[in-house]
Structure 1
């Protein structure tokens, strides 16, 4: 049987979704596979919708795995969560068709980036929000960001370590808004490049702080040169909200287009 899981995690204690080396903190994938293997009483490997970096969180990461173990979805959900550290849980489990793939069946991914915008750094939300001391013009950032909507070559916003075969992506929506001291960026695309969201946010912050004009974002995009863009925003403000799938897969509404 093939199953899909919705997984929530706080990325502060992990080196990312995937293990990058033998030393240091574990990966989310490693602790999830260990817990699933314990429930199945056999080795289990998972495939995720989108890998996240160290310090990045997920509200609903979707993974798939195969197992012959006679377990119902409730047993996979509760049994696995009971074997996971407090920073990770399985929200739901759904049996899926054998050709479902958490990565390749997804049609879009959605991320949210939050930061506290005030002169003093945050204490309470330091693991889940970034901090920007400079006053930010949210309207200017939102207007500037609309130049990124559509299908473009996003080479200017990918890390040099990105392993994607090409940099063309379709950015479907980007919204910048403020709620009191919190500034929020929400982005949806068919797929993302390594550090793409954090590099976009870092560049928009230059516009919001008045260091660059609004039209600069369009110029950076057209230049296709990472050295022309702004710095990479810190990881703790980023949350992978969810991937999105066609309805025929029968997944929960929160991950269905």
Structure 2
């Protein structure tokens, strides 16, 4: 697997296009457009509109909250305007702020939909566990100066794997119609001073991962035992949980699709974890109804629940 590929400067791309986007979410209200605050979507659509010389609407694989980062946000849009691969990538990047960038672009069939065809989403939450506060990493990690037992955190997290009612880990303002989600896996590992919570699921509730991490930190500090997250989930009451972990440590690192779409494989981010060497799609997906449903699902009306 090569990290460097040359962008084609001759073959025109038009119709339905998919793009891989990364961003530092520190200055944004999240991915989705909001009237009262800057968003990644608004900046991205503005840049695409300049390159295409016509209004462009973008559909994304998932939404991220205010302050959350992404290394592989997959989007798609439709345009009759032909541009080469190099022109799309370089042109859009030239019109984006420095904290957002396009990584790749690919022509896809009209049946592709970045959200409705996504089989899973994957996040990584990074805790910097050391006595001194971070400097170079301060916008991309959450600092925890108390010693954390990553093994205990991992054991406690396993109660969340599978399909459950995650009411105890959803934000009060969550707009999802159901608190049920399917977690494919959740792992906690230490890499030197970094404690990484790696989680994949079909979808996530508002603040769900950050609320889980807040509870796991209590376990890691020794304030709670290994059964703590299992007990919290059984309560189905968010008010009984811990504080919500800060947004700066959360990274949206992957959207998984069937191989037949031919989307590029990428080294999973963020770059702080590049030494792990894990590539997109490396984990096998579980055998569950939602994945079978997504694989056979036609492109539906925009706005339908995920």
Q: Which residue of 2 aligns with 1:12?
A: 26
Q: Which residue of 2 aligns with 1:83?
A: 95
TM-score (norm 2): 0.81
1:11-46: CA deviation from partner (whole Å, max 9, x where unpaired):
112221123333x4x211011000000000000010
Aligned residue for 1:191, secondary structure, equals coil
Matches within 5 A, 1:1-257: 1-22=15-36, 24=37, 26-254=38-266
1:102-158: CA deviation from partner (whole Å, max 9, x where unpaired):
111000000000011123221221100011122111110000000100111111111
How far 1:192 sits from its partner (Å)?
Answer: 0.8
User: Are the counterparts in 2 of residues 57 and 239 from structure 1 also a CA contact under 8 Å?
Assistant: yes
How far 1:73 sits from its partner (Å)?
Answer: 2.6
Structure 2 CA distance for aligned equivalents of residues 133 and 142 of structure 1: 19
Aligned residue for 1:2, secondary structure, equals strand
How far 1:74 sits from its partner (Å)?
Answer: 2.4
Structure 1 CA distance for aligned equivalents of residues 175 and 261 of structure 2: 28
> RMSD of the TM alignment (CA)?
1.3
User: Are the counterparts in 2 of residues 73 and 95 from structure 1 also a CA contact under 8 Å?
Assistant: no
How far 1:97 sits from its partner (Å)?
Answer: 1.1
Aligned residue for 1:186, secondary structure, equals strand
Aligned residue for 1:70, secondary structure, equals strand
Aligned residue for 1:69, secondary structure, equals strand
State how many pairs are aligned: 255
TM-score (norm 1): 0.96
Structure 2 CA distance for aligned equivalents of residues 229 and 171 of structure 1: 19
Aligned residue for 1:120, secondary structure, equals coil
Structure 2 CA distance for aligned equivalents of residues 234 and 46 of structure 1: 28
User: Are the counterparts in 2 of residues 141 and 208 from structure 1 also a CA contact under 8 Å?
Assistant: yes
User: Are the counterparts in 2 of residues 44 and 66 from structure 1 also a CA contact under 8 Å?
Assistant: yes
Structure 1 CA distance for aligned equivalents of residues 45 and 165 of structure 2: 35
User: Are the counterparts in 2 of residues 159 and 226 from structure 1 also a CA contact under 8 Å?
Assistant: yes
For structure 1, the 5+ residue unaligned runs are: none
Structure 2 CA distance for aligned equivalents of residues 149 and 238 of structure 1: 19
The worse-fitting range, judged by mean Cα deviation, of 57-66 and 224-233 is 224-233
Which aligned segments of 4 or more residues in structure 1 are displaced greater than 4 angstroms?
Answer: none
The worse-fitting range, judged by mean Cα deviation, of 58-67 and 13-22 is 13-22
